[in-house]
Every structure is written in structure tokens, then in C-alpha cells.
């Protein structure tokens, strides 16, 4: 018989409806409803070592930024952890609202069992292909350091496992000594262990620069089955090779010890309501018959595909139980569709 703790965890997956049943005291009805969600049938999570960090990470990263920006979601965070998710990614408050504050209690309860990532920009007024001056790089690094300190305060922590230079599009900044020195000062002060970068504009060149420096342990890149996702156009980057063709570049980064974290893998499928929605079949031409005939949703296919074609893990913005369950199963089972 299920324990009451297990039952409450199942109810968490039902959201407000499940907790309403619990409050009304109809245990058998509520448990039956929880079982109907497939709570006991979740697969085992799969794991991958995050490059030279050495951390054995769940292949699904819980993206907490938008998900926690306005309200806590401890029931989802705890469920994800219980099922095997052990990497949680958030970001600075000027962009993500109260997300770091809302994640703080969860981190305090589970700090020894999870890998915590936060991030902030190092802003410069320069185009992607411009060389950033030393003075501009110093100002950018100082801002990044200030935002890191603010993140630590919001999270109620003295240390995070990794902190990203967020949304970077300029390779010269990423390879500047000013960013390196800012990171090393934070590392030596015990504030952070690993340096990372995130990029969804000019990501190919940013990744190449990060790898060449040897300073970066993680890179979160916007990439899809069709190739690079471009934040400016909210579409696939014009002229991009598909992810299979990008394989040697991705493999070189991983061989250099840089963990590759995917983002925006399925964004094109959803689109935006004010632009007429997305194209749910946008990536179908890249899939073989086995994947097309699988019982995966269109979103699950995109996550499974990028995971099995060069990425270590994927970051997903998880705002409700349905998204958690869908992304969890895609990450946990991805290898089985490409055997």
C-alpha cells in the first residue's frame, strides 16, 4: 500500500484539483485520481556527466526562471527531484522577477542533492562581431559581478555551482581577460565553482570562443533539430546547418570538457499566439520513421532528437505538471528511439 507521503506527492501532480480532494478527505477517490495521471509509471531518469564539472546530471534541467517568476511551485520542484531531476536553473531578478526568491526555500531543503545554476548578463554596447574595448569589458564584468552577488542574496546562498554570462552574443567579450578575472575572483571567494555562458544569438561563434578559452565548463545554446535558433527572428537562423551537420562542432566542445545544455529546442513548434501560433511539424523532415511513428508528442520528439545528436542535457521551462511529465519522459527515454 502506498504511504501517505507518496500519496501526497501524487496529489501534487494533480495541482489544485488534487489538493482540493485531499482537503475534502476522500482518500480513495483522490488516490485513484492520482494514479490515473500515471504517477507510478514514470520511467527512470537518464544521466550524463556535465563535462569537466564531473556532476552526474539528469538529462532534463528544470528551468525555473519564467516558471517561478511570479509565484512558488514547490510541489513541482519536489516532484521533479523525487523522480530524479537534480539540476535547477534560474536567473537574475531584473529579468526573471522573483524566481530566485521563490527557489530559495527549495534550495535550502535540498542543497546537498542538487546542482544550482543562475545567470546574468555582462552587458556591452557592441554588435556581435565588434571587438569590445578593455574599458567596456571591465564595466560589463563589474555589472555581471554585481548581479551575481544580488543573485546569491536572492537565493539565500553563499555559493552556486555555476553562474552563466547570460544571453551573450559577442565572442570578444566572452574571451576577454576581464570576464576571466571577474569569475576567478568570485570562485576564489567561494561564490561559484563553474563558469558558464548562455547564447541564443550568434551562438556558434560564442560557443567556439568559450571553448577556445578553456575557462568555461558549461554552455547553454539555443539549438533545434534544424540547427541554430535565432532569438532576434524568433525562428531558425537563416542558412544554419541542421544539428547533425553541426555534430563535429558540438563534439569538439564536449571533447574540450564543456557541457552542452540545450534550450529553445521546441520553441518554434509553439510559436507565439499573436503571430498565429507555431508549426508543430516543423522538424518532421529531420526524423526517421521510427521517431515519427513513436508515441511521443511533437515537443518530446524535438527534445529527444537534440539530446541524441550532441547535447548533454536540455533546459525546459516547467510551469505545470503536464510540461514536467512530458519533458521528463522525453529526456528519460530519448536514447531508446535512436538505438
> Using CA atoms, how far apart are residues 7 and 273, in angstroms rounded to an integer?
37
Residue 78: Cβ-neighbour burial (10 angstroms; 0-12, 13-18, 19+): middle
Q: Is the pTM of this model over 0.85?
A: yes
Please check the confidence at residue 231 and state whether its pLDDT lies above 50.
Answer: yes
The CATH homologous superfamily to which domain 45-337 belongs is: NADP-dependent oxidoreductase domain (3.20.20.100)
Return the pLDDT at 41: 85
Return the pLDDT at 268: 87
The answer to whether 266 and 184 are in contact (CB under 8 A) is no
Per-residue pLDDT tens digits for 29-51: 334 444 444 445 899 999 999 99
Please check the confidence at residue 28 and state whether its pLDDT lies above 70.
Answer: no
Return the pLDDT at 327: 97
| Cell reading at 140 | 560589463
> Using CA atoms, how far apart are residues 193 and 291, in angstroms rounded to an integer?
38
Return the pLDDT at 216: 98
| Cell reading at 150 | 544580488
Return the pLDDT at 267: 87
> Using CA atoms, how far apart are residues 95 and 121, in angstroms rounded to an integer?
10
277 falls in which pLDDT band (50, 70, 90)? low
Phi-psi region of 202 (alpha: psi -120 to 50; beta: other; left: phi over 0): left
> Using CA atoms, how far apart are residues 233 and 180, in angstroms rounded to an integer?
31
Per-residue pLDDT tens digits for 170-211: 999 999 999 999 999 999 999 999 999 999 999 999 999 999
Mean of all residue pLDDT scores within the chain: 89
Please check the confidence at residue 17 and state whether its pLDDT lies above 50.
Answer: no
Return the pLDDT at 9: 46
272 falls in which pLDDT band (50, 70, 90)? low
- Break the chain into its structural domains and give their ranges: 1-41, 45-337
Please check the confidence at residue 271 and state whether its pLDDT lies above 60.
Answer: yes
- What percentage of the chain reaches a pLDDT higher than 70? 86
Per-residue pLDDT tens digits for 286-319: 999 999 999 999 999 999 999 999 999 999 999 9
Least confident interval from 41-55, 231-245, 263-277, 286-300:
263-277
Amino acid at each position: 500500500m502506498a504511504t501517505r507521503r507518496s500519496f501526497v506527492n501524487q496529489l501534487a501532480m494533480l495541482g489544485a484539483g488534487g489538493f482540493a480532494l485531499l482537503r475534502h478527505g476522500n482518500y480513495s477517490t483522490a488516490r485513484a485520481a492520482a494514479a490515473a495521471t500515471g504517477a507510478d509509471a514514470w520511467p527512470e531518469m537518464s544521466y550524463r556527466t556535465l563535462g569537466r564539472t564531473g556532476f552526474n546530471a539528469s538529462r532534463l534541467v528544470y528551468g525555473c526562471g519564467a516558471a517561478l517568476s511570479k509565484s512558488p511551485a514547490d510541489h513541482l520542484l519536489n516532484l521533479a527531484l523525487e523522480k530524479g531531476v537534480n539540476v535547477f536553473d534560474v536567473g537574475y531578478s531584473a529579468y526573471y522577477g522573483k524566481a530566485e526568491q521563490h527557489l530559495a526555500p527549495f534550495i535550502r531543503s535540498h542543497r546537498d542533492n542538487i546542482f544550482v545554476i543562475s545567470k546574468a548578463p555582462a552587458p556591452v554596447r557592441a554588435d556581435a562581431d565588434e571587438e569590445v574595448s578593455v574599458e567596456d569589458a571591465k564595466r560589463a564584468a563589474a555589472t555581471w559581478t554585481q548581479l551575481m552577488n544580488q543573485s546569491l542574496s536572492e537565493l539565500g546562498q553563499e555559493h552556486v555551482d555555476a553562474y552563466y554570462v547570460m544571453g551573450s552574443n559577442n565572442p570578444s567579450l566572452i574571451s576577454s581577460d576581464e570576464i576571466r578575472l571577474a569569475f576567478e575572483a568570485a570562485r576564489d571567494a567561494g561564490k561559484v565553482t563553474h563558469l558558464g555562458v548562455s547564447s541564443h544569438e550568434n551562438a556558434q561563434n560564442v560557443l567556439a570562443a568559450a571553448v577556445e578559452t578553456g575557462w568555461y565548463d558549461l554552455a547553454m545554446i539555443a539549438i533545434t533539430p534544424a540547427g541554430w535558433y535565432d532569438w532576434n527572428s524568433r525562428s531558425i537562423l537563416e542558412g544554419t546547418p541542421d544539428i547533425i551537420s553541426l555534430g563535429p562542432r558540438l563534439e569538439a566542445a564536449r571533447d574540450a570538457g564543456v557541457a552542452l545544455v540545450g534550450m529553445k529546442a521546441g520553441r518554434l513548434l509553439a510559436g507565439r499566439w499573436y503571430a498565429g501560433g507555431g508549426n508543430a511539424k516543423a522538424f518532421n523532415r529531420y526524423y526517421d520513421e521510427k521517431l515519427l511513428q513513436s508515441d511521443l508528442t511533437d515537443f518530446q520528439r524535438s527534445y529527444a532528437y537534440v539530446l541524441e545528436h550532441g547535447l548533454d542535457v536540455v533546459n525546459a521551462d516547467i510551469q505545470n505538471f503536464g510540461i514536467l511529465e512530458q519533458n521528463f519522459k522525453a529526456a528519460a527515454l530519448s536514447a531508446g528511439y535512436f538505438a
